[in-house]
Amino acid sequence: MRGLELSERYYEAIGVPMIREKFASHADRIAAGLVGDGSECFGFDDEISRDHDWGPGFCLWLTQEDYHVIGHALNVELSKLPQEFNGYAPRMTSNWGENRIGAFEISQFYAKFIGATCLPGNLMDWLYIPENSLAACTNGKVFFDPCGEFTRWREALLRFYPEDVRLKKMASRCMTIAQSGQYNFKRSVRRGEFVAARYAETKFCADVISLIFLLNKTYTPFYKWMHRALLPLPILGGMIYEKINTLVLSTDNDEKINIIEEICAAIIEVFKQQRLSDSSSDFLLDHGPQIQAKIKDRALRERNVWIG
């Protein structure tokens, strides 16, 4: 059983009766689900995942007013629930795995990920929230949300970056992908600087994946899952997944150089299809400024194209 399914079953069998018995006056005001850090929230958990921060548990989310009234008591009652469920052992919480389950005030829960107790209010607020943090606080599943407040936050964030911010990030990725992959990887190999070459290859892969997620208007998850999460993306997801896999496994540097160019060519073709760039160059560096020029906000458009 995957962790997300286990969490929902545990909530329905153990959590709901407790809430109805102990907090009847608030039973129709408490949202529940499992969202946040952890492979199970992305549906990527397996047998290896079960050695820490995995097992029966769920999140409860309350408005600020309700949390002040019952938050502490609710967490006390949650701590008393059976730790084993349906044949699964208790969660083994790691040193850094605390506060992944339990009762939370909604704005404080989101603040752990976006750095503020309110939704992003302007382009700069959006620009500086890490993609993987946004992926983490919009993943998983909401089992029950009678008030809709938790879902209001969730849906606002799931609408993705404002278009100007998306364009800014895409322009920046063009620059760093070209620099690391099309330029510095080849030069580092020729110089015999193989540590630099390996770093350039890794940087290239990470930024390509980020760009593909931006093209699909989906947040890039934590680096451990970013390659795997490519597969379901409709725009270049499966193709880039396979190309990067081949690139990383190859021991032939000439083959690696060819794959890098194939990846960049595929991305440029999508740019042309979506009218993001009309440059005829096969060097992604030349497409970054073209994309940045489409930004409507003047201050953002005039920022350094490399920064995004």
pLDDT digits (tens, 9 = 90+) for 213-248: 999 999 999 999 999 999 999 999 999 999 999 999
Question: Among 181, 152, 158, which Cα is nearest to 285's?
Answer: 181
The answer on pLDDT for 167 being more than 90 is yes
The answer on pLDDT for 119 being more than 90 is yes
Task: Determine the pLDDT at residue 98.
Answer: 85
Mean pLDDT, rounded, for 81-103? 91
Cα separation of 199 and 193, whole Å? Answer: 10
Mean pLDDT, rounded, for 17-39? 97
Q: What average pLDDT is seen over the chain?
A: 97
Cα separation of 248 and 45, whole Å? Answer: 23
The CB density around residue 180, as the number of other CB atoms within 10 Å, is: 22
Percent of the chain whose predicted confidence (pLDDT) is above 70: 100
210 phi/psi in degrees, rounded to 5: -60, -45
Cα separation of 30 and 23, whole Å? Answer: 10
> Pairing relation of β-strands 59-62 and 102-105?
parallel
Mean pLDDT, rounded, for 175-186? 98
Tokens, residue 6: 């286990």
The answer on pLDDT for 64 being more than 90 is yes
How far is residue 72 CA from its own chain's centroid? Answer: 30
Task: Determine the pLDDT at residue 174.
Answer: 98
Task: Determine the pLDDT at residue 92.
Answer: 87
The CB density around residue 78, as the number of other CB atoms within 10 Å, is: 19
Task: Determine the pLDDT at residue 94.
Answer: 87
Tokens, residue 31: 């949202």
Task: Determine the pLDDT at residue 97.
Answer: 80
The answer on pLDDT for 137 being more than 90 is yes
253-273 helix and 237-249 helix, angle to the nearest 10 degrees: 170
Residue 81, classified by CB atoms within 10 Å of its CB into exposed (0-12), middle (13-18) or buried (19+), is middle
The confidence band for 200, taking pLDDT boundaries of 50, 70 and 90, is very high
Q: Are 210 and 131 in contact (CB under 8 A)?
A: yes
Mean pLDDT, rounded, for 262-267? 98
Task: Determine the pLDDT at residue 133.
Answer: 98
Instruction: Name the DSSP class of 88.
Output: B
Task: Determine the pLDDT at residue 75.
Answer: 97
The answer on pLDDT for 96 being more than 90 is no
Mean pLDDT, rounded, for 12-27? 98
